[in-house]
Amino acid sequence: MIPPPRVDESTVVLGIETSCDETAASIVMGGTDVLSSVVSSQIDAHAKFGGVVPEIASRAHLELIRPVINEALDTAGVDPERIDAVAVTIGPGLIGALLVGVAVAKATAFALDRPLVAVNHLEAHLYAALLDDPNLEFPAVVLLVSGGNTLLLSMDAPGSYHLLGATIDDAAGEAFDKIARFLNIGYPGGPAIDRAARRGNPRSVDFPRAMLHDGYDFSFSGLKTAVMNHVRKNSDVASDDVAASFEAAVVDVLATKLMRAARDTGARSVVLGGGVAANTLLRSEVDRLARAEGFRVALPSRAMCTDNAAMIAAAGWYRLRDHGPSGLEIGAVPNLALVADTVRTNRAAPGRDHR
């Protein structure tokens, strides 16, 4: 194994991400200084696929990964030899998509004779807020809401975190997407609901807030069904009002649980992440409630909320510093869990008492 390099403010990490809808690469120095962050939809090669990257198609990632990495190097003005380590998402995600990133990362690390670092995509989302606000105060609670995930975590320090709760059925972003399609108000669903809700009355329908006072887990499947049943029975209802009332129910549950978690864990900061963190009402509600109770608030920019490779490089920097490199024998792990990783991470952080 390659001996661990020095890991400090000048350490340059190439991050590679192919687990999701985007092929992405980024150059980050010192864990927080983003020199470049390229996602495939920004570059010309994207046009080849008619504007839609079929995220499950590993061949799309395969065709895009080299141009995306080259663009990341060019934009950063960094020579490949300047890269100190290569960080890559190994899961969770689809095996075919993950394998592209893992294979390219291994080959790059081997060719440059640099260490390789395996990164959990979900853990990486926790570092996105640090990229926008390197002075984030810990402990923090993080609400990670996207199409595929709704997770509530507490974080004592970079690399030390644990899962408080998660959705037991649909993710919040999925509910936005499906209700938008059901109401026929446009795509993608998140921004469409956001726009419609600004025009509607959030108090026109009192939709259920599942498990509002019950633990840290979430459930949005019943809300989705309630919205559809309401529209089927009231065909004259205004879709702006339905969108606003639906959004109010989702945000109410998310914000209530996030704030309760912040109080219960003695957090100093409240952090949003994931694509749904771009939602106007969620941002304003979390900002308002958190400030009222004296918490610091971190609302990452949209580019940092959504999938990107800068957060992979950042997570890789911390992982390299705290745990050293991964071996070249690593493989893609489609079902990589956050929880199992957390246990190891917490054990490796002595002196952190968080029971």
Partner 1 sequence: MYLHADNLDDTADIARVIARFLRTGDIVVLAGEMGSGKTAFTKSAAAALGVTESVTSPTFNLVHTYAGDAIKVHHVDLYRLSRTDEIEDLTIDELARSGVVLVEWGDVGDDVIGDHLEVRVAVGEDDDERDFALRPVGRRWDARWEKLRGALAGHMVDDWSGL
Residues lying near partner 1 in the complex (CB under 8 A): 54, 56-58, 92-94, 96, 146-148, 166-171, 173-174, 177-178, 181-182, 221, 224-225, 228-229, 334-335
Q: Which two three-digit tokens encode residue 61?
A: 């990632």
Rounded to the nearest whole angstrom, what is the least distance from the CB of residue 183 to partner 1 in the complex? Answer: 11
Alpha carbon 67 to its chain's center: 23
Rounded to the nearest whole angstrom, what is the least distance from the CB of residue 333 to partner 1 in the complex? Answer: 11
Distance CA 212, CA 216 (A): 9
Rounded to the nearest whole angstrom, what is the least distance from the CB of residue 302 to partner 1 in the complex? Answer: 18
Nearer of residues 125 and 224 to partner 1, judged by Cβ:
224
Nearer of residues 228 and 238 to partner 1, judged by Cβ:
228
Q: Which helix (H) or strand (E) holds 340?
A: helix 338-347
Residues whose CB is less than 8 angstroms from the CB of residue 177 and which lie 6 or more positions away in sequence, other chains included? 147, 188, 189, 190
Nearer of residues 57 and 297 to partner 1, judged by Cβ:
57
Report which of 78, 55, 54, 67 is spatially closest to residue 25, judged by C-alpha positions. 67
Rounded to the nearest whole angstrom, what is the least distance from the CB of residue 140 to partner 1 in the complex? Answer: 25
Nearer of residues 69 and 171 to partner 1, judged by Cβ:
171
Report which of 183, 198, 305, 181 is spatially closest to residue 247, judged by C-alpha positions. 198
Distance CA 139, CA 121 (A): 21
Rounded to the nearest whole angstrom, what is the least distance from the CB of residue 225 to partner 1 in the complex? Answer: 4
Residues whose CB is less than 8 angstroms from the CB of residue 324 and which lie 6 or more positions away in sequence, other chains included? 4, 115
Rounded to the nearest whole angstrom, what is the least distance from the CB of residue 244 to partner 1 in the complex? Answer: 20
Nearer of residues 94 and 262 to partner 1, judged by Cβ:
94
Nearer of residues 36 and 146 to partner 1, judged by Cβ:
146
